[in-house]
Amino acid sequence: MTARNILVNSCIAFMLAGGRLAEAQTPAPATRDETPAQRDARMRWWREARFGMFVHWGLYSGLAGTWDGKPVATSGGMEWIQQRVKADTGTYAERAIPLFKPKPGFAREWARLAKEAGCRYVVFTTKHHDGFALHDSKVSEYDAGSVLQRDLVREIVDALHAEGLRVGFYHSVIDWHHDQYEYAHSKQLPHPLLGKPYPNGQRDHARYLAYLHGEVNELMSNYGPVDILWWDYSAVDFQGQEAWRAFDLLNAVRSKQPAIVMNNRLFRIPEAGFSGMGTSAISAQLDPKHGDFITPEQHIPATGMPGVDWETCMTMNTTWGYSEHDKKWKSPETLIRNLIDIASKGGNYLLNIGPTGDGSVPQESVQAMKAFGAWMKVNGGAIYATTASPFENLAWGRCTRQRLAGGRTRLYLHVFDWPKDGKLTLPLLAGGHARARLMATAQSIPVTTGKLETSIALPKEAPDRIATVIELEFDGAPNVVKLSPPGK
Ligand code: FHN
């Protein structure tokens, strides 16, 4: 047995002892004695950021959606390729590791792309369901340190800090590699061997949890301040303290990183914002002991999620991990209007890229992020540090809002469909000293406040076909005119 195995096993033995003990001693559920004001202060940067980049990258990226020389599929998550082809971890690693060759400087390219696009934070996969860790782990041999003699988390964190970006760690609690992960506990969570007996006989999930907590402890201890922890994911039939010792995990992370912001995916219960399985089974309630924000996936809640922090995560095509077969790219216009729609509903947008096996970013993603950069350079102020629209829906576009000094309000009107009659109307009784201007040019434009509406005279052509922003300022808070639907 190699020195390293002895070290790994003694660590596990120690943590097991510690874990079992810890479990006994740790009161569950854990609650953080944080006042609402303290929580608002901790969440402020995240709420004001509005826009982040998600990165799914790992061994699956080299396989690129291909197995045995054939496309596994042309759509859907290719980060799940091991599960899609029902490969055991040995076979998967054998095929994938030779194709995972991070090129020098890959991380700086990501960081610059995110920065130029106007993102304020980046969340990247430190470990996905396949169990391969991108950091140099002392509790695992299925990690970048052992396999590549590199610490990819270190490289990415340094690159993000160099661009002044906030750092987020995505971490899968599901693990298709660890030989003590008891996949039979859940019929709802994916595993390549689901339904089959454990290849190594009896398993002890507590040993897997000691390993999981061990890796998380390394990530929370060795890379400086970490701003976000993005857990993924739990099922109704296997979640929380029972599945992951979730409260112990949250406690341990908060003790190492008190300012960190964490999502809700260690749980799958209504109190944590879930109404069942499926990416749209979400409910607008979140008890802070289960996390800080709710995570709609691949969709935008129709009326936002008033009263809770939320962040929509989305792919640019249909896969999170890179696939050479998936060409279903959304247009930059659709993606930018999604950000505006989400901000107008008070949420954050976490937009995904899936780099290739050497870390290169697909051209379609680069183009989309550059389009964001061009739009945000002019209109970023209409997204960052804004709050939700006071209007239910606007036929021509969306609205974001800002409270100004002296009690004045500024509304950012994001016009998607330029009114043919050159008149933009709002069901609003604008307060005094109302004035409007084009955000791009600061050119003033006439405002008329009527009995039931406010209207703005627009230039003939829309300066920006994706979304032209008009700033409307007035005294006081918005006085929205509630129009009763026709015939009522
Ligand atoms: O199974 C994962 C999936 O691969 C991807 O990581 C998404 C991102 O939010 N989360 C899970 C599906 O909900």
More confident residue, 450 or 277: 277
- Of 20-34, 234-248, 309-323, the one with minimum mean pLDDT is 20-34
pLDDT of 15 higher than 50: no
Residue 34 falls in which region: left (phi positive, over 0), alpha (psi -120 to 50) or beta = beta
pLDDT of 224 higher than 80: yes
**Would you place residue 488 in the very low, low, confident or very high pLDDT band (cuts 50, 70, 90)?**
low
pLDDT on residue 487: 59
The pLDDT tens digits for 99-124 are 999 999 999 999 999 999 999 999 99
The pLDDT tens digits for 235-282 are 999 999 999 999 999 999 999 999 999 999 999 999 999 999 988 899
| Cα 178 to ligand 1 centroid, rounded to whole Å | 19
Gap between the Cα atoms of 39 and 46, Å rounded: 11
pLDDT of 483 higher than 70: no
Tokens describing residue 169: 């760690």
| Cα 18 to ligand 1 centroid, rounded to whole Å | 31
The pLDDT tens digits for 161-206 are 999 999 999 999 999 999 999 999 999 999 999 999 999 999 999 9
Tell me, using a 6 A CB cutoff, whether residue 231 lines ligand 1.
no
The pLDDT tens digits for 29-50 are 455 679 999 999 999 999 999 9
Closest CA to 284 of 214, 373, 211, 347: 347
Q: Across the strands, what pairs with 263?
A: 293
Probe target for ligand 1 pocket from 125, 234, 320, with the most ligand atoms within 8 Å of CB: 320
Per the listing, tokens 């929580």 go with 39
Other C-beta atoms closer than 10 Å to the C-beta of 362 total 19
Gap between the Cα atoms of 207 and 467, Å rounded: 53
Tell me, using a 6 A CB cutoff, whether residue 77 lines ligand 1.
yes
- Kind and range of the H or E run holding 146: helix 144-148
pLDDT on residue 450: 85
Probe target for ligand 1 pocket from 175, 232, 268, with the most ligand atoms within 8 Å of CB: 232
pLDDT on residue 16: 46
DSSP annotation string for 448-480 = EE-SS-EEEEPPSS-S-SS-EEEEEEESSS--B
Tell me, using a 6 A CB cutoff, whether residue 232 lines ligand 1.
yes
Closest CA to 168 of 121, 115, 104: 121
Q: Across the strands, what pairs with 166?
A: 121
pLDDT of 92 higher than 80: yes
- The ligand 1 atom at the shortest distance from the C-alpha of residue 297 is 9
Other C-beta atoms closer than 10 Å to the C-beta of 109 total 16
The pLDDT tens digits for 45-70 are 999 999 999 999 999 999 999 999 99
The pLDDT tens digits for 374-427 are 999 999 999 999 999 999 999 999 999 999 999 999 999 999 999 999 999 999
Q: What is the pTM of this model?
A: 0.94
Closest CA to 57 of 341, 294, 362, 340: 362
Task: Give the chain's mean pLDDT.
Answer: 93
What's the maximum distance between 2 C-alpha atoms anywhere in the chain? 84
φ, ψ of residue 282 to 5 degrees: the values are -125, 150
Task: Determine which residue's CA is closest to atom 10 belonging to ligand 1.
Answer: 232
| Cα 231 to ligand 1 centroid, rounded to whole Å | 10
Q: Across the strands, what pairs with 281?
A: none
Angle at 72 between CA 66 and CA 75, to 5 degrees: 110
The pLDDT tens digits for 4-14 are 454 444 544 44
More confident residue, 314 or 11: 314
Gap between the Cα atoms of 177 and 143, Å rounded: 11
- Kind and range of the H or E run holding 10: helix 3-25
The share of the chain scoring above pLDDT 90, in percent, equals 89
Tokens describing residue 206: 């507590």
More confident residue, 68 or 27: 68
Gap between the Cα atoms of 281 and 263, Å rounded: 16
- The ligand 1 atom at the shortest distance from the C-alpha of residue 321 is 4
Tell me, using a 6 A CB cutoff, whether residue 320 lines ligand 1.
yes
Hey, is 435 helix, strand or coil? Answer: strand
Other C-beta atoms closer than 10 Å to the C-beta of 312 total 23
In contact, 431 and 476? CB cutoff 8 Å: yes
Gap between the Cα atoms of 182 and 245, Å rounded: 14
Closest CA to 175 of 136, 145, 205: 205
Gap between the Cα atoms of 355 and 412, Å rounded: 34
In contact, 63 and 96? CB cutoff 8 Å: yes
